[in-house]
Structure 1
Amino acid sequence: MSKLSFDSFTKKIFIKASMEKLYWCWCTVDGITSWFLEDAVYTSTAGETRKPNEPIQSGDSYTWKWHNWDGQENGQVLAANGTDFVEITFTDSKVSVSLEDHGKAVLLILKQHEIPTDDENKLNIHHGCSNGWTFWLANLKAYLEHGILLNETEFDLRNIPMSGFEFVNM
């Protein structure tokens, strides 16, 4: 991306963890529910539910559920190479995560792209997801480097109007 636009955004963060640990955090049920989701289910192309520590594969489908949100996200795993790249469908767009080893840390590059550019998606996907991913990547760093989680799991925010837009640790 050479310029800013509403059809994509990129977020980057250095995290002091191994590539294997970061890939596990994104590509297994146990990994992604350790820092991001309340629950996740991955289903293979053969219709079998993946085990908690079994890495996802290209062609899998998923169902994600968050803390403090009653809805769920369903999508497809478009690519998963087993080491440093995963891409999924997500909220009428695509999200890719790339990992680059930089010696003392891994550079995680998240790109959400193919975002529809109507006003509703500019607000909900571009603005909302861009803010959300900023928090969640900071949460992943805090979890892996310091053993703490920043997301809210103690207080139920679901009945607070606008909580998804106002709470920074949703």
Structure 2
Amino acid sequence: MEKLQWSSFTKKIYIHAPIKKIYDLWATTEGITSWFLKSAEYKSAEGLIRKSDEYIQKGDTYIWCWHNWDGKEEGKVLEANGKDYLEITFETSKVSVQLKQKNNVTIVILTQYEIPVNEESKLRVHFGCSNGWTFWLTNLKAFLEHGILLNETEINLQENELAGYEFVNM
């Protein structure tokens, strides 16, 4: 077993869906807002907004907004091969998503790495994002395999100041 460390973590999940379908849900505005985000905007390196069904590409920038959270995440697409791998900047680190076919199912391998090793990042990025990605990968599986979303989109959870720490479906 590899040694666990504060500077990175990996989350894996098997999903009964084709690689292309899963890639589409990660690599297009239309896809990522169907199961993960309230809104997303991708701009090409030339500053042009990508169409909702257009694949992201290396050099793009993004702005992501979630349901039940006022903040936004801005970052850059570092890699996107159009079929089974993408990599972005996220928080103060990087995230890669790799898709592999294994025995008639797809394994999604998400790695967040280059996480700063300080007390704030240990809590907010390593612990917080690790918990968050666990939920979101489960949400993706539920969406693809059962046609349901587990995240809350109708009830305003932000009325509770500890909502982000207490609700598992934020």
Fold shared per TM-score above 0.5? yes
Matched ranges for 1:57-136 at <5 A:
57-136=57-136
| TM-aligned CA deviation for residue 69 of structure 1 | 0.4
| TM-aligned CA deviation for residue 103 of structure 1 | 3.4
In 1, the alpha carbon distance for the partners of 2:18 and 2:64 equals 25
SS of the aligned residue for 1:158 comes to helix
In 2, the alpha carbon distance for the partners of 1:43 and 1:159 equals 33
Give percent identity, aligned residues only. 59
In 1, the alpha carbon distance for the partners of 2:158 and 2:7 equals 29
Q: Say whether 1:30 aligns with 2:30.
A: yes
TM-score (ref. length: structure 1):
0.98
TM-score (ref. length: structure 2):
0.98
In 2, the alpha carbon distance for the partners of 1:162 and 1:116 equals 25
Query: 1:152 is aligned with what amino acid?
Result: E
| TM-aligned CA deviation for residue 159 of structure 1 | 2.4
Query: 2:105 is aligned with what amino acid?
Result: A
| TM-aligned CA deviation for residue 166 of structure 1 | 1.0
Q: Which runs of 4+ in 1 moved over 2 A?
A: none
In 2, the alpha carbon distance for the partners of 1:111 and 1:67 equals 23
The count of corresponding residues between Structure 1 and Structure 2 is 170
SS of the aligned residue for 1:20 comes to helix
Gapped regions of structure 2 (runs ≥ 5): none
Query: 2:30 is aligned with what amino acid?
Result: D
SS of the aligned residue for 1:88 comes to strand
Gapped regions of structure 1 (runs ≥ 5): none
User: Which residue number in structure 1 is paired with residue 137 of structure 2?
Assistant: 137
Query: 1:130 is aligned with what amino acid?
Result: S
Could you report, residue by residue, the CA deviation over 1:69-127 in whole angstroms, capped at 9, with x for unpaired residues? 01100000000000000000000000000000113210000000000111011000000
| TM-aligned CA deviation for residue 67 of structure 1 | 0.1
